[in-house]
Amino acid sequence: MFKRLLRMGLIAALFSIVLVGCSKNNSGSKSYSSNEISVMVPDWGAPTQKMLDQFEKESGVKVNMQPTAWDDIKSKVSIASNGKQAPADVFEVDWSWMGEFQKAGWLNKVDVSKNDVNDIPSLATFKAGDDYYAVPYSHGIRLLYANKKMLSDAGIDQMPATWSDMDKDMKELKDKKIVKYPLQFPLGAEENATTTFLTYAYMRNGVIFNKDNSLNKKSALDTFKYIDNAVKSGYIDPNSVSTGGMDTYNGINSGKGAILIGPSSFIVSSNNKKVSKVVGQVEPLKIPTNDGSAPKSVAYTEAVGISKFSKNKKAAAKFVKWYSSQKVQKQLYKSLNNIPTRSSVLQELTDNNSIKNGKVLVDSNKLLTMPFPNGIPDNYGKLSSAIFNTVNKVGRQKMTPEQATNSLAKQIDKLNKD
């Protein structure tokens, strides 16, 4: 009798598990009260608990942080939003996701003041039509980094200002055997190869995509030729084709390379004893120009946006406003080394020497433009994959610059057609 009861109990328990598994969940994220929100950002963007407590005290809004791996955020947002659920009330919007998220209708408009628009030039990346859909919190301005000690050892006193200066410097560094591979350029098949290619092409030629979103072949060919020549001349480590982009960038901090065009975070990390072997040696500079051309800069910035399906949009808007405020940007820089997106904050941190050599950041921030004439495309994922795989093939000498240009142009035309 007891055994029979036990069996029946086990069967009932199994049924319950199945039924619970099949039950309808009413919300993708936890349902909070109107004064409670969830925020999904990578761990490098998560404010400290002290900051969040202060925000709760000021606004009455409790924040539940969901630090999430950057790679996972896009799929979490997509899957939840397809089910018309909020993955979180506020979530990370990387510049490269803006086109897809906005077109799919997953982002709520955010209110920004005229002052915000003037103070945060990278806001333009997150604008569609007349509206803004996310507010940048961590800057990704591209800068030129040069190891002035290595340059000096090669007998170069003047920092490179033009592309031809940079080429001459790399040759000197190589010929005088100051460093085996002077240029740190990511060639691995991943996102950093794409952003670096876009940066070089755009900054060297002022254009990379035509107005109809097709590839500007002249600019692409020039850049592929540049990469091809740099690999053949031994300026770039050929093993970069198998290394992660961040590992290649980090070569500037380990002293493996002397020149890098990379993210603004290296302005801080190159002077951090914990991660840099060349403290005090790396000078951040504006990206070179062609002789006589007007300077400009590009940035690949991270922002936060509000889910269209959030049930607490007012509280979420309060958080976004607080999170992108001057005060919080300063705190985020101090606690997480996040490079502020506000010109005023960059200026203040430069003036009080919190950011060493910060003037270049302030100046570059005023010159921001975007390589995409019609905004970030909604098929950026596929576009990026086509670019980094082509760059990788040129790096591996599997394609000539001409073949790479034609192949990439064809792939982009097909993407535009689809």
Partner 1 sequence: MFSCFNMEGKIVRNKNLWAAILLLPCILIIGGTVFLPIITTFGYSLRDMNLTEVTTNKFVGFENYRKVLTNPDFRDALMNNLTVLVLVIVLGLITSVFVGVVLNNSSRFGSLLTAIVIIPWALPPLVNGIMWKFIFFPGYGLLNKLLMDAHLINTPISWITSRSLFLFVVAIIIIWRTVPFCAILILANLKNIPDTYAESFELEGGSRWQIFTKITLPLLIPSLGVVLINLTTSAMNVFDEIIALSGYQSDNASLMVYNYSTIFNFLDFGMGSATAYIIMLLVGIVGYFYVKNMTKNIKV
Does 149 help bind partner 1 (rule: CB under 8 A)? no
d(CA 23, CA 338): 42
The one among 78, 85, 162, 369 contacting partner 1 by CB under 8 A: 78
In the complex, what is the shortest distance from the CB of residue 413 to partner 1, in angstroms, rounded to a whole number? Answer: 16
The structure tokens listed for 11 are 């069967």
- CB under 8 A: which stretch of 27-35, 61-69, 310-318, 376-384 binds partner 1? 376-384
Which listed range, 73-81, 113-121, 163-171, 284-292, lies at the site for partner 1 (CB under 8 A)?
73-81
Q: Is 18 in the site for partner 1 (CB under 8 A)?
A: yes
In the complex, least distance from residue 106 CB atom to partner 1, rounded to whole angstroms: 8
The answer to whether 93 touches 304, Cβ cutoff 8 Å, is yes
Query: How do strand 135-138 and strand 142-147 relate by DSSP bridges?
Result: unpaired
DSSP string, 116-181: HHHH-GGGGGGEETTEE--EEEE--BEEEEEEHHHHHHTT--SPP-BHHHHHHHHHHHHHTTS-S-
Using the minimum distance from each CB to partner 1, give the nearer residue, 72 or 402: 72
Give the nearer residue to partner 1 in terms of CB position, either 159 or 415. Answer: 415
Q: Does 21 bind partner 1 (CB under 8 A)?
A: yes
Annotate each residue in 242-281 with x if it binds partner 1 (CB under 8 A) or - if it does not, as one string: x-x-------------------------------------
Question: Residue type at 283?
Answer: E
Query: Quick one: which segment of 107-115, 203-211, 282-290, 392-400 binds partner 1 (CB under 8 A)?
Result: 392-400
Residue 116 CB, shortest distance to partner 1, in Å, is 27
Q: Which of residues 218-247 bind partner 1 (CB under 8 A)?
A: 237-239, 241-242, 244
Residue with tokens 């120009």: 289
Residues pairing with 39 in the sheet: 65, 90
Q: Give the pair of three-digit tokens for residue 149.
A: 């000690």
Cβ-based burial of 389 (10 A; exposed 0-12, middle 13-18, buried ≥19): middle
Residue 402: other Cβ atoms inside 10 A: 13
Three-state DSSP at 371 gives coil
Kindly tell me which of 68 and 341 has the beta carbon lying closer to partner 1: 68
- The answer to whether 296 and 369 have CB atoms below 8 angstroms apart is yes
* One character per residue 172-191, x = contact with partner 1 (rule: CB under 8 A): ----------------xxx-
Query: How would DSSP label each residue in 197-252?
Result: HHHHHHHHHS-SB-TTS-B-HHHHHHHHHHHHHHHHTTSB-GGGGGS-HHHHHHHH
Number of chain residues interacting with partner 1 (CB under 8 A) = 35
Residue 100 binds to partner 1 (criterion: CB under 8 A): yes
273-285 burial string, b = 16+ CB within 10 Å, else e? eeebebeebbbbb
Query: Is residue 392 a contact residue for partner 1 (CB under 8 A)?
Result: yes
Should residue 389 be labelled a site residue for partner 1 when binding is judged by CB under 8 A? yes
User: Least distance from C-beta 14 to partner 1, angstroms?
Assistant: 4
Count of CA atoms in the C-beta half-sphere (13 A) of 267: 31
Site for partner 1 in 189-208 (CB under 8 A): 189-190
292 near partner 1, judged by CB under 8 A: no
The reply to whether 127 sits near partner 1 by the rule CB under 8 A is no
Interface positions with partner 1 (CB under 8 A): 11, 14-15, 18, 21-22, 74-75, 78-79, 82, 100-101, 103-105, 188-190, 237-239, 241-242, 244, 378, 381-382, 385, 388-389, 392-393, 396, 398
